[in-house]
Amino acid sequence: MTFALANLKAKMEFEIFTLSNGIQVIHQQSQSDAAHFGLFVNVGSRDEKEQETGLAHMLEHCMFKGTTHRKAFHVLNRLDSIGGELNAYTTKEETSIHSSFLKQYYERAIELTFDIAFNPTFPDKEITREKLIILDEFYAYKENPSDQIFEDFDEMIFPNHSLGRTILGQPKHVKKAKRKDLVQFHMDYYHPENMVLASVGNTSSKQLKKWLEKHLPEKEFSGKKVHRVAPTEYTPHQTLEKKQVHQAHIIIGNQAYAYSHPKKRALILLNNILGGPSLNNRLNLNISEKHGFAYHLESNYSGYSDSGEFSIYMGTDSSQLDKSVELIYKELDKLKNQKLGTVQLNQAKQQIKGQIALGHENGLNIMLALGKSLLTYGKVDLMEDIYHQIDQISSQDLFDVANELFDPNQLSSLIYVPKKY
């Protein structure tokens, strides 16, 4: 084992244990003065009923607006006053409350997180205020075509399914939501069986467990397991819409693999080659750099528990629209018709390994990744295991995935153009 790999393995060592109420915890001890702690809940926007869209996201907002022990100001001030950060997010399949702080305030962060997650009071006046904030966020998205096109594309490729609905919810549902709806949603999903905790910081697992057990809520919980129905309906669509936009916005994609699919890692690598974060990805080199057609051009893969999504997004002048779309399909055709050579494949693998390693230099990123992995898979792979899985990907694997997902007859496209187009 090389020194670099041995050092990386040391950074990835962690311990998983279970608390007395059944919550699983993953902890990685670090030597940093900064620590990170998060609670992850297996519920998101896809778990809402059709008439309650936006409820999971609204709940995330409103939990911070008062608990049985604190008013909203005291919740927000508890970590901010000592230089810490308190945050949260909602996705289609999970919700998280997480914080970053100096290591001496570990217990404070734990107690606050539990108070927010288990003891929210949802004051009516705060709900009314948060509705206005969420509606403002919704309309801000509507006014930004580079955001809105992703929402509309989701609806296109996941028709009549909760994965196709926006996380922010529809205004009519947000406006109608009542305190009793938030209370019921919280009771249904915010229980130990549906949660995990993640921690990265300079403390031992033994000490962390003492703090966690000390502040666990004493009340009994009863909730329900998440029940999800996989999307089945998909028909490719090509849609062009005239909008109040200054340039053309293009998104092309398809339904893709679930996060447990055996071809998932091959798709992640293929996506990185095509339009990942590096400046040398194929879309950037052969469209942005060579032709100067786009400043913002990317491809993305999102895996869900029972499905997934692959997409390419580009913003360009409407006069360059036809040529831009042609060039995108040309890059997809190359991956479908030409296998990567040995040198190209090895370079692609080394690049994604480097990106993963750099991502694990950030304690917050590590904590979020550990929590999400334990919640999603019930386990966390060591870095060398991830590297091994990447090394096992062959050029034939990438070729097969490209031919399966990049078939033009199965790709959908959504294009916004200026009204004068």
* Domains annotated on the chain, with CATH: 12-215 (3.30.830.10), 238-418 (3.30.830.10)
Regions of the chain where pLDDT drops below 70: 1-12
Q: What is the pLDDT of residues 336-392, one digit of tens each?
A: 999 999 999 999 999 999 999 998 889 999 999 999 999 999 999 999 999 999 999
Beta bridge partners, 416, equal 241, 249
**Count of beta carbons in the 10 Å neighbourhood of residue 232:** 10
CA distance linking residue 74 with residue 81, whole number of Å: 10
Beta bridge partners, 303, equal 308
**Count of beta carbons in the 10 Å neighbourhood of residue 12:** 18
Please give the angle made by the CA atoms of 125, 128 and 129, to the nearest 5 degrees.
90
AA identity, residue 264: K
> Cα dist. 195→74, 226, 316, 371 in Å?
25, 12, 43, 10
What are the two backbone dihedrals, phi and then psi, of residue 285, each rounded to the nearest 5 degrees? -65, -45
Q: Is 389 helix (H, G, I), strand (E, B) or coil?
A: helix
What are the two backbone dihedrals, phi and then psi, of residue 312, each rounded to the nearest 5 degrees? -120, 130
Please give the angle made by the CA atoms of 389, 395 and 397, to the nearest 5 degrees.
65
CA distance linking residue 89 with residue 103, whole number of Å: 23
DSSP strand pairing (34-41 vs 195-201): antiparallel
Q: Is 260 helix (H, G, I), strand (E, B) or coil?
A: coil
Look up residue 236 and give its two tokens.
């490719």
Kindly report each contact of residues 370-374 with a partner whose C-beta sits within 8 Å and lies 24 or more positions away, as own/partner: 370/14, 370/26, 370/28, 370/198, 370/200, 371/26, 371/38, 371/39, 371/40, 371/96, 371/98, 371/196, 371/197, 371/198, 372/40, 372/94, 372/96, 374/16, 374/24, 374/26, 374/40, 374/196, 374/198
Look up residue 308 and give its two tokens.
């997934």
CA distance linking residue 35 with residue 20, whole number of Å: 24
pTM: 0.93
CA distance linking residue 162 with residue 62, whole number of Å: 22
pLDDT of residue 182: 97
Do residues 147 and 141 lie in contact, with contact meaning Cβ atoms separated by under 8 Å? yes
Closest CA to 98 of 414, 399, 375: 375
pLDDT of residue 12: 56
* 147-158: b (≥16 Cβ within 10 Å) or e: ebbbbbbbebbb
**122 conformational bin, left if phi > 0, alpha if psi -120 to 50, beta if neither:** left
> Cα dist. 255→148, 300, 302, 409 in Å?
19, 12, 10, 13
Do residues 135 and 166 lie in contact, with contact meaning Cβ atoms separated by under 8 Å? no
DSSP strand pairing (15-18 vs 85-90): unpaired
